[in-house]
Amino acid sequence: MAKMCVKTRRLDVARVCLANMGHARGARAMREAEKEPERDARVARLAIELGMNEEAEVLLKNCQRFDLLNIFYQSTDQWGKVGNCCERYLLLLSRLRLQPKIQNSFHTPYAVTYVEKEIKLHFFLKIPQTYAKCLRYSTNVPKPPRKLRKWWAQYMESTGEMDVALKFYQQAADPLSLVRVYCYCGNLDKAAEVANETGDRAACYHLARQFENNDEIKQAIHFFTRAMAFGNAIRICKEHGFEDQLMNLALLSTPNDMIEAARHYEDRPDTLDKAVMLYHKAGHFSRALGIAVLLNMLLVFVGIMWHSNRNEIRNVIKELFVILKQSRYKDHICPIAVVKKYAEAISICSSHDVRLTEDLVEKLTIPKDFMDQHQRERLLSKLAGCCMNQGEYHLACKKYTQAGDKEKAMRALLKSGDTEKIIFFAGVSRMRNLYVMAANYLQSLDWRKDPEIMKNIISFYTKGRALDSLAGFYDACAQVEIDEYQNYEKAMGALTEAFKCLTKAKMANKQQQESKITELKSRIALVKKFIQTRRLFDSDPQEGIKQCHALLGEQDLESSVRFGDVYGLLIEYCASQGNHEKAYHYIQELRARMPNVTLSYFVNMKTLEAVHRSVRAPLGRGVGNGDADKSKLGEESEEEVMEELYDGE
């Protein structure tokens, strides 16, 4: 019946038959064959187990599963068919398993041909055991394949037999590998001999890196040059001061390398002629002419013009006029200032973006009684504007101050970011708008960690009569006290100060002012109610619980009092009374209201653990102890400043 199932392809019936027969191996083979996608492959597995080899062979050929067919041939010792199948379908694994049979059954020439086919298929890299066969075969062949020799050398190198590896690398004509192995063995002289004889660029580059690591700089430059790695050679010359070789290498290299070398020469007064030559060679005519003209290097300039073609000459002449004009201005700014032609000198600086230094700016500063005050202030403002454009903000502040424009002077200081000078300048200027500008800048800093900055913000807003801005700052302080320290008493003080400032402020939009005052009143009332509720838990806990529920029903509570703090009171009280079920109920309510809440912000970690342990519930999400005691970690300086601000005023 089971054999009939092979012909009818009824695998379901075959399983029943095998079970009744007690054919355990066949049943297991059927289960393993279920992963085969082709039905004929699964039926062929059944036929093999039942000894129906001919039917199995036909089935595997029909479904074109030649990998399984080769396994079948090998298991039935039909090696001749395995070889034919391998030749036709490139089943490499089977061919390698066949190799010992071929070696024992055929002559050496056939075996060598067979091995060469394997080499072409790049399979020996995965089967190291076949390397010994490669060597034995190659010794009987007059001209062994180059790849075979190279792979055998690589194998010998991996096993540490460097002499054999060098021999086969030489036969394979692989100079890079020869140099690499010689360097590994410490024989740099032999490696240099190979690199010089072959001239292989990769080998020369590898050897140059070795010489550089060994601080043999001349040899490293030589082999980098032979490898045409001019950038590396130029880098080494610059680092170790080989100026003569640097010039020759730069002329052989790319324009970018020429410009880098020219910049190196430009930094040294005695090599400026080389810088001009390299700039010209790289096509950087403006810079070449600039150096040549400013230093009166007429011979170099004539050489540049002589070696240029017609189009280059046209461009050079254009560049020459620009450079002569600019160089004249730059050279004559100081003389113009000395003869007190301040307007002309400042105009040149403004039009041609002359680089300003502190010494030059002082020379360009007009004395007080030299000209009309209005004209003097206008020129000083223009000079300050040039300083601003060049990022010299402190010089710009000084010139704007001398010009009487303190607001622009403050803007220059604000761009510099020098907090100490900004505070000092605002204090000595005694101008309302400058106080406000300084306070706005200070508020952008981390004022929470610096008590002096907080005091200056309040002082500057007060002196600048910007009471609406001061109210906003107090509001921010209150929010910090609530979010970071859970200190609602100090937050209440800050909100009260904000309310006072806002009622005294003179805002242009009265309706907006009234709206802010109403909102502040509501927030103060809620914070006050929360403080009173928290105190009730010491005298009348039931009333405290009732007030907490009333707070939770308030609209916009979160803008003044955090839900977590209200629930924290309820949870802590219930836990202290041993009512862990009720405490756990409030925890669940808080999680439902605030899904992403971190409970340890509002409730002590030990309390949370006791509650969850009592009700046999896992701690779950949002409990972590990362910032559980964050409110206790505030710096003493901040606490003292807040107390001084809200209680002392």
pLDDT at 12 over 50: yes
Under a CB-based contact definition with an 8 Å cutoff, are residues 551 and 530 in contact?
A: yes
pTM, rounded to two decimals:
0.45
In sequence order, the 6+-apart residues with CB closer than 8 A to the CB of 386 are 346, 349, 350, 356
Q: Whole-angstrom Cα distance, residue 37 to residue 57?
A: 17
pLDDT at 149 over 50: yes
- Phi, then psi, of 623 in degrees rounded to 5: -100, -25
DSSP class per residue in 571-630 = HHHHHHTT-HHHHHHHHHHHHHH-TT--GGGTS-HHHHHHHHHHTT----TT---TTTTG
pLDDT at 601 over 70: yes
Which band of pLDDT confidence, cut at 50, 70 and 90, is reported for residue 574? very high
Q: Is residue 242 part of a domain?
A: no
Q: Whole-angstrom Cα distance, residue 275 to residue 311?
A: 22
Last residue of a domain, one of 47, 77, 107: 77
Q: Is residue 42 part of a domain?
A: yes
Q: Is residue 83 part of a domain?
A: no
Q: What is the pLDDT of residue 95?
A: 46
Number of separate domains in the chain: 2
Q: Is residue 326 part of a domain?
A: no
Residue closest to 576 by CA, chosen among 610, 542, 546, 544: 610
Which of 119-128, 228-237, 245-254 is the most confident on average? 228-237
Q: Whole-angstrom Cα distance, residue 55 to residue 57?
A: 5
- Out of 139-148, 566-575, 603-612, pick the least confident: 139-148
**How would you class 155 by CB atoms within 10 Å of its CB: exposed for 0-12, middle for 13-18, buried for 19 or more?**
buried
Which band of pLDDT confidence, cut at 50, 70 and 90, is reported for residue 322? low
Taking CA atoms, 531 is separated from 25, 152, 336, 353, 524, in Å, by 81, 86, 74, 64, 11
Q: What is the pLDDT of residue 341?
A: 64
Q: Is the dihedral of CA 490, 494, 495, 499 positive or negative?
A: positive
Q: Whole-angstrom Cα distance, residue 609 to residue 612?
A: 5
pLDDT at 286 over 70: no
Q: Whole-angstrom Cα distance, residue 275 to residue 271?
A: 7
- Phi, then psi, of 296 in degrees rounded to 5: 55, 35
Q: Is residue 525 part of a domain?
A: no
- Arithmetic mean of pLDDT, 311-328: 51
Residue closest to 575 by CA, chosen among 599, 550, 551, 547: 599
Q: Whole-angstrom Cα distance, residue 207 to residue 219?
A: 9
Cβ count within 10 A of residue 220:
22
Tens of pLDDT, residues 359-386: 778 878 888 878 888 888 888 888 888 8
Single-letter code of the amino acid located at 20: N
Give the DSSP letter of residue 268. Answer: S
Residue closest to 92 by CA, chosen among 121, 63, 69, 113: 121
Q: What is the pLDDT of residue 466?
A: 85
Last residue of a domain, one of 44, 77, 110: 77
Q: What sections of 50-138 are H helices per DSSP?
A: 53-62, 66-75, 79-89, 92-105, 108-120, 131-138
Taking CA atoms, 236 is separated from 215, 232, 252, in Å, by 10, 6, 16
Structure tokens at 15: 């399983």
Tens of pLDDT, residues 177-189: 888 888 888 888 8
DSSP class per residue in 392-455 = -HHHHHHHHHHTT-HHHHHHHHHHHT-HHHHHHHHHHH--HHHHHHHHHHHHTS-GGG-HHHHH
Under a CB-based contact definition with an 8 Å cutoff, are residues 221 and 237 in contact?
A: yes
Tens of pLDDT, residues 103-145: 443 334 444 454 445 444 433 333 334 444 455 444 444 456 6
Position with higher pLDDT, 344 vs 262: 262
Which band of pLDDT confidence, cut at 50, 70 and 90, is reported for residue 324? very low
**Which residue shows structure tokens 């009720």?**
582
Structure tokens at 226: 């032979």
**Which residue shows structure tokens 């790289």?**
282
Residue 425's H or E segment, with its range, is helix 419-429
Q: Is residue 220 part of a domain?
A: no
Q: What is the pLDDT of residue 106?
A: 36
Under a CB-based contact definition with an 8 Å cutoff, are residues 357 and 365 in contact?
A: no
Q: What is the pLDDT of residue 294?
A: 52
Q: How many CA atoms lie within 13 A of 622 on its CB side?
A: 15
Under a CB-based contact definition with an 8 Å cutoff, are residues 40 and 25 in contact?
A: no
Cβ count within 10 A of residue 298:
10
Radius of gyration of the chain (CA): 45
- Arithmetic mean of pLDDT, 165-181: 85
Residue 374's H or E segment, with its range, is helix 373-389
Single-letter code of the amino acid located at 591: R
Structure tokens at 360: 């030059």
Q: Is residue 537 part of a domain?
A: yes
Position with higher pLDDT, 635 vs 221: 221
Q: Look up the domain containing 21 and give its range.
A: 1-77
In sequence order, the 6+-apart residues with CB closer than 8 A to the CB of 179 are 191, 194, 195, 200, 203, 206, 207
Tens of pLDDT, residues 620-635: 655 544 343 433 334 4
- The mean pLDDT value of the chain amounts to 77
Tens of pLDDT, residues 329-338: 444 455 445 4
Q: Whole-angstrom Cα distance, residue 85 to residue 564?
A: 77
Secondary structure percentages of the chain, helix, strand, coil, to 5: 80, 0, 20
- Phi, then psi, of 36 in degrees rounded to 5: -75, 130
Which band of pLDDT confidence, cut at 50, 70 and 90, is reported for residue 101? very low
Q: What is the pLDDT of residue 143?
A: 57
Structure tokens at 631: 């409110």
Q: Is residue 31 part of a domain?
A: yes
Last residue of a domain, one of 22, 49, 77: 77
Please, what's the b/e burial string for 101-110 (b: 16 or more CB within 10 A of its CB; e: otherwise)?
ebbeeeeeee
Q: Whole-angstrom Cα distance, residue 34 to residue 23?
A: 17
Tens of pLDDT, residues 396-411: 898 898 888 888 999 8
Under a CB-based contact definition with an 8 Å cutoff, are residues 393 and 415 in contact?
A: yes
Under a CB-based contact definition with an 8 Å cutoff, are residues 192 and 204 in contact?
A: no
Q: What sections of 185-309 are H helices per DSSP?
A: 188-198, 201-213, 217-226, 230-240, 243-252, 255-266, 272-281, 285-294, 298-306
Q: What is the pLDDT of residue 546?
A: 92
- Arithmetic mean of pLDDT, 143-151: 71
- Arithmetic mean of pLDDT, 253-278: 75
